[in-house]
Amino acid sequence: MKNCTLLVSSCDNYEDLWGPFFSLLKKYWISIDCPIMLITDGKKFSSNGLQIQCPLDYTNKQRTWSECVIEAIGHIDTEYILFMLDDFWIKEPVDDILIDKCIGYLDSDKNAGTFCLRHQPDFKLHEESKFSEFVRRPKSEPYRITTQVSVWRKSYLNKILRKHESVWDFETFAKYRSRLFYPERIYLIKPTVKMPIVYHSGGVLYRGKYVMPYLKEFKNDLLGIDLSRGYYLNKPSNYDGLITPKYDFWSITKSLFPKY
């Protein structure tokens, strides 16, 4: 995977996820050869055979999710980023051929901003594109910008972030910024194409606790999972629902600025 860094978003409160996440990464992506950056508050983590960097140091400091991602991007030398969240644990062998294709597509089309590698709800009629595995996401689509696994042009991800936003704020407001201010095109893998990276759509955690039915699928992987953070015996009924935070006027105004 040339000219691309795997960026994994996390924080020190979720350090018990790092061991299982990277164990599964090594198991299901044997050929991975790219730099890996793990976003932490200050703690370091290593795993044999992987090039993991933890460059941030926010120990005893308050930072937003977006501030951490923006600073991490500043430490990345590659032009492209494969972005993942820490509780999206890989379940099947990774198809790095399609990921490499995405990088080639970004090389060939400077107007392409990101390629989402996860099937998404089809709210609107997507537009056909010149990339055979992908459709173009229309500006009217509700989930046009997502934190699901995607290959990003680094410059596009950096400029669409806003430093005051949480991860939920980002997914709520970045879609509007992508419509109003930035011409980059956004692509989504077709439902007829097998996803190159397979995991549970909402992750193995729900509101800080493990979802036991999902953990049981990894029972043969000897991950040494620490259940002290708590768990749900069954999948919560609203597991796939959206979290709807409350926003004040100034926060919304900042989120809808082109850049500040």
Instruction: Give percent of the chain above pLDDT 90.
Output: 68
Beta-sheet pairing, 185-189 with 205-206: unpaired
Instruction: Look over the chain and give the mean of its residue pLDDT values, rounded to a whole number.
Output: 89
Whole-number Å distance between alpha carbons of 176 and 139 = 8
Tell me what pLDDT residue 246 has. Answer: 60
The C-alpha atoms of residue 19 and residue 222 are separated, in whole angstroms, by 11
Strands (E), 164-204: 185-189
Let me know if domain 4-255 sits in CATH 1.10.10.60. no
Specify the DSSP element, H or E, that contains 232. Answer: strand 231-232
The residue with tokens 């969240």 is 85
Give the start-end residues of each E strand in 69-193. Answer: 80-85, 112-116, 127-128, 134-136, 150-153, 185-189
CA distance 128 to 232: 41
Report pLDDT for 42.
94
Contact 126, 136 (CB under 8 A): yes
143, pLDDT greater than 90? no
Q: What is the pLDDT of residues 29-48, one digit of tens each?
A: 999 999 999 999 999 999 98
What's the maximum distance between 2 C-alpha atoms anywhere in the chain?
49
> What residues does each domain of the chain span?
4-255
pTM of this structure? 0.92
Rounded mean pLDDT of 210-222? 85
How far apart, in whole angstroms, are the C-alpha atoms of residue 134 and residue 193? 8
| Between 60 and 57, the higher pLDDT residue | 57
Distance CA 181, CA 97 (A): 32
List 8's β-bridge partners, or say none.
38, 84
User: Per mean pLDDT, which range of 15-19, 55-59, 87-91 is the poorest?
Assistant: 55-59
Non-local (6+) Cβ contacts of 197 within 8 A are: 84, 90, 94, 95, 99, 117, 118, 149
In the beta sheet, which residues pair with residue 183?
A: none
Position 162 scores a pLDDT of: 94
Tokens read off for 249: 């006027």
